[in-house]
Structure 1
């Protein structure tokens, strides 16, 4: 069986035709254009014409998603006009194929849990440290997602510091305001350090202020992981996203911080998949049906 996995981002849409052995028969990217649904349907139909043996379609997208209905409950201005779109219903009518839709962080987590860094574990929390903080939770092969507002597992908007730094969601002190790539840039600016995030890690051995900032970042990340452990009692945490590309410089510090915070030891790993995680995870949404 072959399926089509689609990863919808703010600037590009990645599509892959994948079989049950996870062999990739097509992997292509197209620019994200608007109105989004119309362009998405057009691109998917183009793929189906070339690959008529595709039986199902899995989609991972930015935004709050009602995964049962396959509906985008809310998306930011990153995807204008996407909020409220009945993706599953419309695509099934247009293609005659079974369609499943979920949040992009959830499908990336599914890829790591099924065939990536956490494939040996049953309960996994994946943290994507990018522009914001994405989260995906896989418990005993079940994706924690959906909810009446599509907001389950929106880890980035849990509160770390009440009345802390303002977040675009409207709250203050959210997780993602302290451990995302954007948060690192803000910490550097507030400390008046002349570094990019990558340069910060490279200079930590020579610059005491840089090391202090990294210690604060890893402390906050350790507190977040500890809080999630108390909620989900996971076997493994997988850390992905752009910030994870520099993990060799701060991972040991994080593990030291975790020793003081965890209720029980857990394994913490760096994600195996990069940009392809969304497409592979979207494929797995329907390969598992």
Structure 2
């Protein structure tokens, strides 16, 4: 028995998680499965996990989307700041499609989350430019204009006041330097003011684990652009990957 629901896979540092996705609702169409991320997480090792993960679900010819924590151009991985460097230069779309027998499309992880938030989450119904940022170990970013992702924006690496932005404004910097919410909000204000001067977005959406405590810091930011917490949180990567896989084939 087959299903037409596309499959989304979120490739993280500690776990690789996947589920079929109902694109009408943006919800999982089956129970999510998770497998520990292999160490080292080389393309061949991750490929084995993908085959095992897909094997836990019923047969399907629907496309598969996979998030990659790196820059992706036409299915080829171009950076690997937080994954094994063997991914650089790998045509992941071709490799994974050949190995799984399914059409597989890889997408930057922040872009996948951003697309999901615009279609189903906090930014649903907002036209124009929406910038989704994830505040975690680094700062991930997704720029979505009228529902279309402008890929690989990497706004966490803007140089601000002589520093790589995420080195001072990511949640990891708050934890490492034991900053108060007020101190961190000051750094975030500087970051978001820089981004709004450059791009004049309609809306900022803030994701990452710390977004669960958004009431502690978002009201302290002094910027012009509306800024709100993400809604999909841990499901955004899987949902966005599945959506990107379907839209890539159109």
TM-score normalised by structure 1 residue count: 0.76
**1:42 matched residue in structure 2:** 48
2:143 paired with 1:154: no
Distance 1:111 1:283 in 2: 9
Distance 2:79 2:144 in 1: 22
Distance 2:206 2:27 in 1: 25
Distance 1:134 1:27 in 2: 24
2:80 paired with 1:113: no
2:14 paired with 1:11: yes
Distance 2:114 2:34 in 1: 21
Segments of structure 2 that go 5 or more residues without pairing to the other structure are none
Distance 1:19 1:251 in 2: 32
- The superposition leaves residues 154-212 of structure 1 with CA deviations (integer Å, 9 ceiling, x where unpaired) of 111101111xxxxxxxxxx0111221122112432xxxxxxxx6xx44xxxxxxxxxxx
**2:227 matched residue in structure 1:** 268
* Aligned length, in residue pairs: 240
The answer on whether the counterparts of 1:130 and 1:241 sit within 8 Å (CA) in structure 2 is: yes
Segments of structure 1 that go 5 or more residues without pairing to the other structure are 146-151, 163-172, 189-196, 202-213
2:157 paired with 1:136: no
Q: 2:172 aligns with which of 175, 182, 189?
A: 182
**1:191 matched residue in structure 2:** none
Shift of 1:38: 2.4
Of residues 71-80 and 50-59 in structure 1, the stretch that sits farther from structure 2 once superposed is 71-80
The answer on whether the counterparts of 2:41 and 2:84 sit within 8 Å (CA) in structure 1 is: no
Distance 2:189 2:81 in 1: 28
Distance 2:41 2:143 in 1: 31
Structure whose alpha-carbon radius of gyration is higher: 1
The answer on whether the counterparts of 2:27 and 2:239 sit within 8 Å (CA) in structure 1 is: no
2:231 paired with 1:224: no
- The superposition leaves residues 51-87 of structure 1 with CA deviations (integer Å, 9 ceiling, x where unpaired) of 2124101111112221x2x111120354353222221
Of residues 89-98 and 53-62 in structure 1, the stretch that sits farther from structure 2 once superposed is 89-98
The answer on whether the counterparts of 2:114 and 2:143 sit within 8 Å (CA) in structure 1 is: yes
What is the Cα-based RMSD across aligned positions, in Å? 2.0
- The superposition leaves residues 104-125 of structure 1 with CA deviations (integer Å, 9 ceiling, x where unpaired) of 1111111111111001212210
**1:239 matched residue in structure 2:** 206
The answer on whether the counterparts of 1:2 and 1:54 sit within 8 Å (CA) in structure 2 is: no
User: What SS does the corresponding residue of 1:2 show, helix, strand or coil?
Assistant: coil
